[in-house]
Structure 1
Amino acid sequence: MRADAARNREKVLAAARELFADQGYDVPLDEIAGRAGVGPGTVYRHFPTKQALFQAVTEERVTTMIATASEPADDPGAALFAFLERMADEAANKRDMSDAITVPTELRKALQAALGTLLTNAQEAGAVRTDITVVDLIALMKGLMQSMQEGANPALLLEIVLNGLQSRRKP
């Protein structure tokens, strides 16, 4: 790639990171191009679809989250709850997180698989109720993330989700 093309690609990525974080997936590509100081054709030359651009922007952040989910944990329940708290923190700071867990990509599948492993481990350890599935958990987190954008209290909602996940078994 020529040096000027590489610079333009980085400008597009930087603008997209900022705008996706502020506005979520619905930001128009023309707005991203304008923020990057390039034409729409330049955006499409590097990223043929909006989904390809979104994936490039979220991939590094979500890949890092997935890696932390894969680390061995002494307390599987605490590991799941810490991961959910990190997701909520990311969503509070960047609107694109709720889109990143639902836009159909291999990255989303990897995130769901990592979350599924954390959930299963926590369930097997007796820390989390056994009647919840990873699909249920993702729906809860997506709802929590969406409510943040609507002005709800994220700390309170996360507390409710985490309390609701706890095992009902008697010690």
Structure 2
Amino acid sequence: MEDTGNTEDTETAAGRPHRHDTGTREAVLFGGVYGSVLACSMVAALTQYGHTSRDSRRYDAAWLLVTALASALAHGYAHYIAERAPHRRGDALRALADEWPLVAAVLPTVVLLAGAGWGWWPASGVEYAAFVLNITLLFTLGLVTSRWSHRPWGSAVAVGAVDAMLGMVVVVANAVIK
């Protein structure tokens, strides 16, 4: 089947939907951005009251992972039920599996929080490292996906900066609300 550059799903000769690379790239960007902003928000929410013990950091890591899995499940399920085409066996599992970028995006923050809980580094102040990590991840996702789309470097850097601003909004909101 000839690639027309269309980002929509197309049918393969066997009648199964086939996603073009652009769709996969969009899923990685969407899931990555959503997961990184979710991680920033959760870290801000979970550390709002200043609990910095190792136990609380392990708790924070567990809740971040549970929240990411629940968000991925809800988003995948929403895609599945919103699909207008008849469903085939395994479509629900494929819809859920397509949400892997969201979960993958929160894993670095989960490791950072869990590591603080396990004593690998100080538990106090780890939220600042988590914010920097996620803002960097947001910038990188925007930059890389823009370059995948053959955008010029200037545009790619601008897209990365806009993505990073999403994380900055959470950091600023956290500082103002505290």
TM-score category of the 2 structures, normalised to the smaller one: 0.3 to 0.5
Under a length normalisation based on structure 2, what TM-score does the superposition of the two structures give? Answer: 0.32
Under a length normalisation based on structure 1, what TM-score does the superposition of the two structures give? Answer: 0.32
- Which structure is richer in relative contact order (CA contacts within 8 A, separation 6 or more)? 2
